[in-house]
Structure 1
Amino acid sequence: MSNMIQAARAQVAQLTQQAYEKAAQAGLLPEGAQVKATIEIPKDTAHGDYASSFAMAGAKALHKAPRAIAQAIVDNLELEGSYFQKVEIAGPGFLNFTLGPRWYGEVLSAVEQEGAEYGANTEGNGEKVMVEFVSANPTGPMHMGNARGGVLGDTLANVLKRDGCDTWKEFYVNDAGNQIHKFAVSINARYMQLIVGEENFPFPEEGYHGDDIKELAKAIYEKHGDSWKDLPEEERLDKLAEYGLSVNIPRMESDLKRYGIVYDQWFFESSLHNSGYVAETVELLEKKGWTYEKDGALWLNTTKLLKEKFMREGKTQEQVDKLDLKDDVLRRGNGFYTYFAADIAYHRNKLEVRGFDKAINIWGADHHGHVARLQAALDGLGLDGSHRLVVVLMQLVNLMQDGKPVRMSKRSGKTIALHDLLDEISVDAARYFFNSRASTSPLDFDLDLAVREDSENPVYYVQYAHARICSLIARLAEEGAQVPQANDVDAAVLNTPEELALIKALAQFPEEIHLAARDYDPSRINRYLVALAGDFHRFYNACRIKGEEPQVLGARLKLADTVRSVLANGMGLLGVSAPEKM
C-alpha cells in the first residue's frame, strides 16, 4: 500500500535529521536539539517539490541564523539513493527539495504492483463502519433525492473501505408506523373507488396521490375482485399494506440494482417492534432516568440530554440557555411508539447489538434538527452517540433542462422517479453527476450536459481519456510495441513538465482517497479524475509516443498505461464503467 507523497515527505524529514546530526558531530551545529519542522508541497515547482522549515524552526534552539543552519544542513545532506536529486536554500532559509527519477519510477511501480487496489491504505484501522443510505419510505417510487443519497452513500462506503475501514451498506425499511397506515388508507381509497366509483368514496386529503397507488389498487382488484371490500377495515388495511410493500420493496431493490447499488442488508423497522426491542430500548431510557410521563404519554427529556451534550462540547451555559430545546414523545397515550423511539432502538441495535464502531447516515438537509437529538438519546443510553453516530446532510437536487428547472414527472405526477431518470440518461452519467458536488452544496443536475458526448461533459471527458489510452495501447501493440514492466523503464527519460506533472497526479490518488474518507466527501474522487484526465490530455498533446526512440516510447507508453489503470480504479470507486472504446 504505497503513498509516494507521504513517503517523500517522510524522507525529507529523515534526510534533514541525518544531515543535522552529521553537522552537529562535525561541530557545525549544537548537538541534541529537538526541531519540529513543517514540510510543505509548494504550489510553484520553481520552489522545489517539498520545502522544509527546519532551519527557521531550529533557529532558537540552535542559536544560529536560519540561513547558516540551512547551509550546514545542505553541506551534510546525502542524497545518493534517495528520492531527491537536489536541495536548494531559498528565502529566509527554506530547504527546497527537488524530486529525482527514482521517485517517479517508484510511482509507476506502485501502481503496477497494486493494480485495482492502488490508493488503498490503513488509515481506517479496520474500524467497523455502517453506512446507511437512501432508506426511503416504501410507499412510492424512488425519486431524485434518493438518487443523490444513493450514489453518495454507496461511493462513501467504497472510499471508506479503500481507506481501511470494515464497511457495511444498509437500507432501513420504514415498514411500520404512520406512513404505512397512510399508504394502506390511500390504496384502500383507490381500491374502493374501483368498486363503487370515484364519486362514492372520497380520497383522503393526506393520502398519497401518485399514479403508483392507483396501479397497486388496480392490481389487487384484478387479482381479488371485490372480495376484500367486506373484510373488517383493520384486516383489509393490513392486507393492502402487505400487498403494497410486497410490490414496492422488490421494485426499490430492482431500481437500486439498476443504479449499481447492492446492499449488505435490508433492515426492517417492523422487526424492531415485533421483537419488543423498541419497548426494551424505551424501558432502558426510563431506568436511566431520562423519561417522564405527561398527558398520558411517555416523554424523553431531550432538553436535559442536549444541554449535557452541548456543555460537553464546549458551549457556555449562556449559549445553551438561548437554544430552543424541546422534549420528544417516545410512547403515545394510545400505547404506540413514535418514529423517534424506533429510530433510537435501531441505532442502539447498530452500535450495541451488532457492534459497529461508527454509524454513518446519509440524510436530507431537512433532517438537520434531528441529528443532535438522536445523538443525545444514544448518549443517554451510554453509547457515545455524539462521536459514534455521524450524519452526512445532503442538500437538494435541481434537475435542469434547456436551462430551466424540470418539475414534473411523466409517470408519478409530482416527483421525478429514479426509473424515469435512468430511462433518459445512462447509469454512468447519473452516478457521476450526483456525486459531483460535496453533499453540503445544492446540486444542479443538467440533463442536457449529462447526455452530451464532448469534453464539456465530465464523465465523458474522463471515460474518453481511458478509452483513448486503450486505443493507443492496442494500436502500438499491432506495431509490436508492448507496455513494458515498470522495472524496465528508465524514469529519467520522463522529464518534460507534462510528464512530471502527470506522475505527480498519479501519486496524489491515495491522498485523495484518504481525504475523501476523512471528510466524508467522495466528490473529491470526481474532481481528481477530471484533473487527471486533463493532465493526461496535456501530456498526450505535448509528448509524442509513436515513432520515438524505443526507450522513450516504452517509458511514455508505460506512463499512459499507468494513467489508464488509475482512471479505471477511480471510476470503479464511483461505480462508473471504464470503457475501452467510445
Structure 2
Amino acid sequence: MTPAALADLLHAVAVDVLTERGLDTAVLPETVTVERPRNPEHGDYATNLALRSAKKAGVAPAEFAGWLATKLEGSDAIATAEVAGPGFLNLRLAADAQAGIVDAVLTAGEHYGHTDDLTGQAINLEFVSANPTGPIHLGGTRWAAVGDALGRVLASQGAAVTREYYVNDAGAQIDRFAESLIAAAEGRPVPENGYGGAYVAEVAQKVVEADEDVLAQPEPEKLAAFKRLGVEVMLDEMRASLESFGTHFDVWSSELALHSSGAVERSVQQLKDDGALYFADGAWWLRSTEHGDDKDRVVIKSDGTPAYIAGDIAYYRDKRARGADLAIYMLGADHHGYIHRLKAVAAAFGDDPARVEVLIGQLVNLVRDGQPVKMSKRAGTIITLEDLVDAVGVDAARYTLARSSVDQVLEIDLDLISSRTNENPVFYVQYAHARLASLARHAADLGVTADDPDLALLTHPREGDLIRTLGEFPRVLASAASLREPHRVARYLEELAGAYHRFYDTCRVLPQGDEEPTGLHTARLALCSAARQVLANGLGLLGVSAPERM
C-alpha cells in the first residue's frame, strides 16, 4: 500500500467513524497527511488527521485518534494502529499491504509514479533562452538540466509540455555581436563594449566561409549579413550543445520574428484598444504596479519605439494563441523584476496572472583543488556548458545541477563529482543501479527468477524500509511537479540508494554454494527488481543514464 493509498484509506475510515457518531464529515481535510516517522520504532507511517479534524468535530483529538485506531485495526492492510501524544496515529502495515507496493512497481514498470493529475493541461516551459551572442554559460547550463528535468516530471503527471527556447535576436546586443564579428574577420581589436573570446574569431570565420563576399559589402549590408549569419552559427552551436547535453527543445521562438511579422505592433494595439495600457508623458504604459511591480513599465517610448517588454507582450500572446494554459518562464538571477511585469502582461490580456509562473535560478560556481575555476579558454570570461561536460561528463553535470534547489547559489566541486566514491551523489545512485543490474545477471546465471514471488515473506526491517521508500516515489513525483522542484527526485534517489545498500548489506538475496533457491530468495529478488526499476525511472526523469555496469 503506497502512502497515497493509505491516505485514501484513512480518509474513508474517518468518514465512517464520523458518520457512525452523527458528526459532520466536512471537518476532514481535503488531503490527509501521511508521513514516515523519523524513528522507525514508532511505526511505518504516522498521520495527524485526528489533530487536524477533532476540534472542528467537537471531540478531543486523542479520542478521535482512538476511534480511528480501532477501526483501522480491523483493516487487512493495517497490522497495528496506536495513538501517540496528543492525537497522532502511528501505523504499521500488514505484510500483504507492504507487498502491494512491490507488486505496484513491478506491474507499472517504467510508468510507476506517473499519474494523470495534470492531464488536459498544456504547459509552455521556457528555459535557457541565452542570448545568441556566445556559448551557453553555467547559468544557462543549470537551466538546461533543471528545465529539462522539470519538463519530464510535469509530463510524468500527464501535462502536455512544450519546451521552448526564446531567441533574443533583436536589440543592441546583436548589433554589438555583429560588430565584434566584423572586427575579428578584419583583424581589428574588439570594439568598445564588444564581445571577446576565441569563439568570436571562430564564428567570424564561419560567416566568411558562408558568404565569401561579405567583407566587401557596404557597411549597412555587411552589418546585416554578420548579424543574420552570426546568429545562425551561434544557434547551430547552441542546438548541438544542448542536444549533446540531452536537452531538446520543441520550439525555438525568435524575438526578431515577433517584431518583423507585426506581432508586437498588433499585440500592443490590442491592449491599447482594450484600455489595458494608459498614455502619459508621451508614452504608453503597462499597469504593472497593480501586480506587485515597483513601477509601471513603459511599453511604447515617447519616441514611438517599442520597449523590450513590448516583445514580451507579443510573446505571451503568441504562447496563449498556441494553446498554452500555463506559461512557465525560467529566468536568471538578475531577472527578479520580471515576475510582476509578466504577470501584469497576462492580466492585461484578461487572463488570471496565475497563468504565468516565473522561476529564478541562482548562480553556479566551479571549484577544483579548493580553488575557484574562473575562465574558459574558448569563451574568455565565462565557463561554458562544454567546459563543464568536458570536465565531468554529461551525467555528473546534469545530476549535480538538478539536485539542488534553484533558489540556492550552487558551488560544484569538480574533484568530488568526478570521483568514484559514495561521497559523490551521482556515483552513489548510479552504483546502486549497476549493483542491482549485476545482481540480476548473477541470478540469471544461477537460474533464480523473480517469477510468482510470495512478497508476504518480506518481513525483515531492512526489507520494510526499502519497500516503504519505494512507496514514496509517486508522492515525490507529485510534489516535484506541483512545486516545480525536480531536485526532490534527486534527493529521493539518494535516499532510495541508501535504503537499498543497507538492505543488501543485511539481507542475502541469492543462494550460496549448493543451497537450493527458496521462496525468500525469489521474493527478495523481486524486491531488488522493483528497486532497480524505480532508480531507473528517477534517473530517467533527470535525464541521467542508469548504467548496467560501472
Query: Is 2:90 the partner of 1:120?
Result: no
Q: How does 1:52-91 map to 2 (within 5 A)?
A: 79-80=74-75, 82-91=76-85
The answer to whether the 8 Å contact 2:70/2:81 transfers is no
CA distance in structure 1 between the partners assigned to 2:441 and 2:335 by the alignment: 51
Residue matched to 1:317: none
Q: 1:399 aligns with which of 349, 360, 366?
A: 366
CA separation of 1:32 and 1:148: change in aligned 2, threshold 3 A: closer
Residue matched to 1:341: 310
Q: 1:239 aligns with which of 202, 217, 225?
A: 225
1:127 partner amino acid = Q
Query: Is 2:462 the partner of 1:476?
Result: no
Residue matched to 1:134: 128
Q: Who wins on radius of gyration, i.e. which is larger?
A: 1
Superposed displacement of residue 288, structure 1: 3.0
The answer to whether the 8 Å contact 2:399/2:544 transfers is yes
Residue matched to 1:248: 234
Aligned partner of residue 141 in structure 1, secondary structure = coil
The answer to whether the 8 Å contact 1:375/1:389 transfers is yes
Superposed displacement of residue 118, structure 1: 0.7
Residue matched to 1:360: 328
Residue matched to 2:545: 577
CA distance in structure 2 between the partners assigned to 1:556 and 1:497 by the alignment: 13
Q: 2:298 aligns with which of 321, 325, 328?
A: 328
Please report the TM-score for the alignment, with normalisation by the length of structure 2: 0.92
CA distance in structure 2 between the partners assigned to 1:88 and 1:13 by the alignment: 17
Q: Which runs of 5+ in 2 are unaligned?
A: none
2:116 partner amino acid = T
Q: 1:374 aligns with which of 310, 318, 342?
A: 342
Q: 2:175 aligns with which of 181, 186, 201?
A: 181
CA distance in structure 1 between the partners assigned to 2:400 and 2:179 by the alignment: 37
Residue matched to 2:453: 489
Q: Percent identity?
A: 40
Aligned residues: 541
The answer to whether the 8 Å contact 1:15/1:77 transfers is yes
CA separation of 1:293 and 1:581: change in aligned 2, threshold 3 A: same
The answer to whether the 8 Å contact 1:123/1:163 transfers is yes
CA distance in structure 2 between the partners assigned to 1:66 and 1:546 by the alignment: 47
CA distance in structure 2 between the partners assigned to 1:575 and 1:581 by the alignment: 18
Query: Is 2:515 the partner of 1:523?
Result: no
CA separation of 1:11 and 1:179: change in aligned 2, threshold 3 A: same
Query: Is 2:384 the partner of 1:421?
Result: no
2:5 partner amino acid = A
Please report the RMSD computed on the Cα atoms of aligned residues, expressed in angstroms. 2.5
Residue matched to 1:36: 28
The answer to whether the 8 Å contact 1:173/1:269 transfers is yes
Q: How does 1:198-213 map to 2 (within 5 A)?
A: 198=188, 203-213=190-200
Superposed displacement of residue 249, structure 1: 1.0
Q: 1:8 aligns with which of 6, 9, 13?
A: 6
Superposed displacement of residue 270, structure 1: 2.1
CA distance in structure 1 between the partners assigned to 2:137 and 2:500 by the alignment: 36
Aligned partner of residue 79 in structure 1, secondary structure = coil
CA separation of 1:189 and 1:541: change in aligned 2, threshold 3 A: same
Higher deviation after alignment, 275-284 or 227-236:
227-236
Q: How does 1:289-304 map to 2 (within 5 A)?
A: 289=275, 290-292=277-279, 294=281, 298-300=283-285, 302=286
1:304-361 deviation digits (Å, cap 9, x = unpaired): x233334xxxxxxxxxxxx84253243462x54332211111011112x112010001
The answer to whether the 8 Å contact 1:494/1:555 transfers is yes
Higher deviation after alignment, 442-451 or 66-75:
66-75
Aligned partner of residue 146 in structure 1, secondary structure = helix
CA separation of 1:204 and 1:291: change in aligned 2, threshold 3 A: farther
The answer to whether the 8 Å contact 2:184/2:190 transfers is yes
CA distance in structure 1 between the partners assigned to 2:422 and 2:495 by the alignment: 12
2:491 partner amino acid = R
CA separation of 1:70 and 1:534: change in aligned 2, threshold 3 A: closer
